Chain A
Amino acid sequence: MANTVIFQDFPLDFTIHPVRKDLVVRSNADAVILSIKNLLQTNHYEVPFHPEVGCNIRRMLFENVSEFTARDLGRFIQETIENFEPRASIQSLVVTPDEDNNQYVIKLKVYIQSSQSPVTVDFILERIR
């Protein structure tokens, strides 16, 4: 059962498969992680007629790097996943401010419907301009 494809999606950068020369396809946990990433990168009012979809973490751009901001950030991410990604249920979400590098380190552990063990995603939010 482990290999059964339940979820299947493609990355929005439209990466081409080096051998097949076709669109790269992501399945199951990969597809869900991709979806979470998309959601976190979406601002409100970006989706036509659905202003509620998205995370709007960009609004934290000019906040001071602090524990409080980190907690807010965590709450936004948690709400977004709970509201718009029914396939993932959060087991733990840790946002750590990294003041020296002007970034947040986020450790997200989620259960995904298609797999039995939790999936851990680590990502870093950083100002790029």
Chain B
Amino acid sequence: MPEKIIITDLDFESIKDNLKTFLNSQQQFLDYNFEGSGLSVLINLLAYNTYYNAFYANMMANELFIDSAQVRNSLLSHAKSLNYTPISRRAPTAIVNVVVTPPGGNTQSLLTMDRFTEFQSQAIDGVNHTFVAKEAVSVYKEAGVFTFSNLEIKAGTPQVATFTYSSISNPATQFELPNDDIDTSTLLVQVQASTLNTATETFQLSVDITEITSNSAVYYLSPSTDDKYRLTFGDGSISRALANGNIVIASYLSTDGADANKANLFATGAIGGFSNVSISSVSSASGGAEREGDDSIRARAPMAYTAQNRAVTQKDYETLLKQLYPDIQSIFVWGGEDNVPPVYGKVYVSISPKEGVIINEAEKSRIVAEILGPVSVLSITPVLVDPDYVYMKFEAQVEVDGKLTLLTTAQISETVRQAIITYTNDTFNQFGTIFTVSKFSRAVDDSLSAILGSDTIVRLEKRLTPTFNTSTTYTVNFGTELHHAPIQRAMKSTAFTTYDSSNVLRTAYIEEVYNSSTGVDSIEIADPGYGYTDPPTITITGDGSGAVAVATIVNGRIDTITTTKRGTNYTSALVTLSGGGGQGGSATAVVQSKFGTLRSFYYNSNSEKVDINPELGTINYFTGEVVINNLSVVESLTETEDIRISVEPGTSIIETKRNQLLLLDTDDPTAISISVVVR
């Protein structure tokens, strides 16, 4: 009995092998195994045809579903059926103040800056970008000058597409915009009555079909093929219909996407005939983004269908923001009720932008007002907060077998550095990532075959922006366990200046006091006793020294016992209560190395550390919370005017929580330090 042909294989060789297996069982032709035979030619042809059909069927089936569609146009079509309009490119937006000074004696009182008035930016990566005014603005003369404040300008080339409507040739009332590099957020659609009657009316983008009447002047935007977009107008029942001879004028920007981000210097020609124009930047160009990618459409189209253009759940916020504000690297949303303490009625949104580290305040207010406001539920206030950045620093020591590589020490060091940057690029910048030292070490070890092994010390760094010349309490939360590191690797800060107790300005640092975590952390009351008229004296005995605690009493019973000095070198401690007139009270000391003490100090002329404040604050090794009390900073000595506190984590698996984000600051020369030992 002839063997059955297996029909599930999809690659050419397997199909051919199956055919050969089949021929093996019959006697008519025997030469199937030889490449030159006539039979082999037939088998090839058959296998090829089968392969071709299998591929075709498989691909067609793939394209039928949004999850598996590979062809961009198929994805766009699926998105359209889910009522999802993929995000076009977005032009970077900068905010500028423009002051136009007319010549003396000029009496003009009102000046209008036309829509699409051009501005040239400085060169970014060697290219000057053209920015244009988003809309026409008119201002009155004040104090002899025309001031356009907070003017929005966008990078791109103005485009105008006009279409004449005819119900015979275009019964569906659809017009395809010819540019695929359009920024649809800049689209302005006007309808002119006819060639003779030049009266125009502006149509608005329809975002909510429930608010449309038969006479609403709206247009609908949907994806077309090849990343273009299509305008559709109503039929007279659902929104206003066009009349024959109407001319649709669509004006918009075509843009290069993210290329012009960061531009902040602009120049322009004359405005309204006046050439004395000065421009100052309020916020540099940001928000520019490439058109939405395939993976993103695949993920967001079904989510947008679920969210239905309103933000109620946490996922809704994420979906809508990603859709309406494409410059998002990663986003995290949580309800205020999860805060400590809870804040009801607020939803917190943390965005890590694709460019830069934080979103500027102007952009934040715009996102809340223009993007989140219209879709939020009435009783919920969205709040945009910056991500809680935890900077990571690496000190790697790499052992290299000198016989296995020709690279110099500097080249090896650079290779490892690049491997670290690549690794962090892949793992960081997303909320909810987990950093493990083991995987990191593997990335370092794998960066070069000559590396025998490596030892990496990871440090976490938080940056706090001080309030200058004001005594302020700062709380910094690393959000992870911290290491009781030896003194050389203990917590330390960057330099800043502050006054010491004799009012001399000193260059100061903050560090954890050596051994300070070996004291008595707290004292728990085992029995409050009775009959106390005064607080009893607390005596702490043990293998350490220096711990001091005081008690308070309420109604003759011991109410609290507070450690005023934790002392040092305790591994166990015994608490004795005496005096106070009462009896029965007892307490136990808790020695668990939970807290350490921070101090501020400066170096004297002999390079010795001199305390400015020996008890500046505390460090909680269990929760990662660092509290700095009453610090008055005169000046920060870092370039970015902040104070950076770095410390070793107590665990080799760092799990980010909530809006915490790990970051490697490649501009910081101390972020990666590599020492190479050649064997």
- Whether A38 touches B38, Cβ cut-off 8 Å, given contacts A47-B44, A48-B48, A49-B13, is yes
- Between B13, B36, B51, the greatest number of chain A beta carbons within 10 A of the residue's beta carbon is seen for B36
Confirm or deny: B12 has a beta carbon within 8 angstroms of a beta carbon on chain A: yes
Binding site for B on A (CB under 8 A): 5-12, 31, 34-39, 42, 47-50, 53, 84-87
Which residues from chain B contact A11 at a C-beta distance below 8 Å?
A: 38
> Which of B13, B29, B31, B44 is the most central at the interface, judged by chain A CB atoms within 10 Å of its CB?
B31
On chain A, the residues within 8 Å of B48 by CB distance are 48-49
Q: List 23 A-B contacts (CB under 8 A).
A: A5-B30, A7-B31, A7-B34, A8-B29, A8-B30, A9-B29, A9-B37, A9-B39, A34-B36, A35-B31, A35-B36, A35-B37, A37-B36, A38-B36, A38-B38, A47-B35, A48-B12, A48-B48, A49-B12, A50-B44, A53-B35, A84-B34, A84-B36
Nearest chain-A residue to B49 (Cβ)?
Answer: A48
Main secondary structure of the interface of B (DSSP, over half): helix
Known contacts A35-B35, A39-B36, A47-B44, then 19 further A-B pairs from the complex at CB < 8 Å, ordered by chain A residue: A5-B30, A6-B30, A7-B30, A9-B31, A9-B38, A9-B39, A10-B29, A31-B37, A34-B36, A35-B36, A35-B37, A35-B38, A38-B36, A48-B12, A48-B44, A53-B35, A84-B34, A84-B36, A86-B34
* A84–B30 CB distance below 8 A: no
Query: A8 with B28: in contact, given A31-B37, A38-B36, A84-B36 (CB under 8 Å)?
Result: yes
Chain B residues with CB below 8 A from A34, complex form = 36-38
Interface check B410, CB cutoff 8 A: no
Q: Are A38 and B30 in contact (CB under 8 A)?
A: no
Please report the C-alpha to C-alpha distance between residue A36 and residue B34 in the assembled complex, in whole angstroms. Answer: 10
For A38, give the chain B residue with the smallest CB separation: B36
> Separation in Å of the B10 CB from the closest CB of chain A?
13
B434 at interface (Cβ–Cβ under 8 A)?
no
Name the contact of B34 in the complex, choosing from A5, A35, A37 (C-beta under 8 A).
A35
Task: Evaluate contact between B29 and A85: CB separation under 8 angstroms.
Answer: no
**Using Cβ atoms and an 8 Å threshold, which residues of chain A touch B324?**
none
Residues of B within 8 A of A85 (CB): 34-36
A6 to B33, CA, bound (A): 12
Residue of A nearest to B31 (CB): A9
CA distance A62 to B185 in the complex (A): 62
Q: How many residues of B contact A (CB 8 A)?
A: 17
Most buried by B among A11, A39, A42, A48: A48
B172 contacts the other chain (CB 8 A): no
Residue of A nearest to B51 (CB): A48
Give which listed residue, B29, B34, B41, B51, contacts A12 with CB less than 8 A.
B41
Minimum CB–CB distance for B417 against chain A, Å: 43
Tell me which residues from 133 to 160 in chain B have a Cβ below 8 Å from any Cβ of chain A.
none
Contact (Cβ within 8 A) B34 A87: yes
Q: Of B12, B13, B41, which one neighbours A38 at CB under 8 angstroms? A: B41
* Contact between B34 and A10, CB atoms less than 8 A apart: no
Residue of A with least CB distance to B32: A9
B 401-432 contacts with A by CB, 8 A: none
Given the known A-B contacts A9-B39, A38-B37, are A31 and B31 also in contact in the complex, defined by CB atoms under 8 Å?
Answer: yes
Given the complex, which residues of A lie within 8 Å of B41, measured CB to CB?
12, 38
Contact A10 B38 (CB under 8 A): yes
Chain A residues positioned under 8 Å from B37 (CB to CB): 9, 31, 34-35, 38
- Distance, CA A9 to CA B38, complexed state (A): 6
Provide the residues of chain B in CB contact with A86, threshold 8 Å. Answer: 34
Chain A nearest Cβ from B143, distance in angstroms: 79
Distance of A86 Cα from B40 Cα, bound (Å)? 14
Q: Closest chain A residue to B34 by CB distance?
A: A35
In chain B, positions 540-557 with a C-beta closer than 8 Å to chain A are none
Least CB separation from B30: chain A residue: A8
Q: Give min CB distance, B36 to chain A, whole Å.
A: 3
Bound: A36/B44 CA distance, A:
17
Chain A minimum-CB-distance residue to B27: A8
Contact of B39 with A10 in the complex, beta carbons under 8 Å? yes
A12 to B36, CA, bound (A): 11
Alpha-carbon gap, A121 to B13, bound state (A): 33
Closest 4 CB pairs of A and B: A35-B36, A39-B36, A9-B31, A48-B48
- Is the Cβ of A8 less than 8 Å from the Cβ of B36? no
Min CB–CB distance B200 → chain A (angstroms): 60
Q: What's the nearest-Cβ distance from chain A to residue B53, in Å?
A: 13
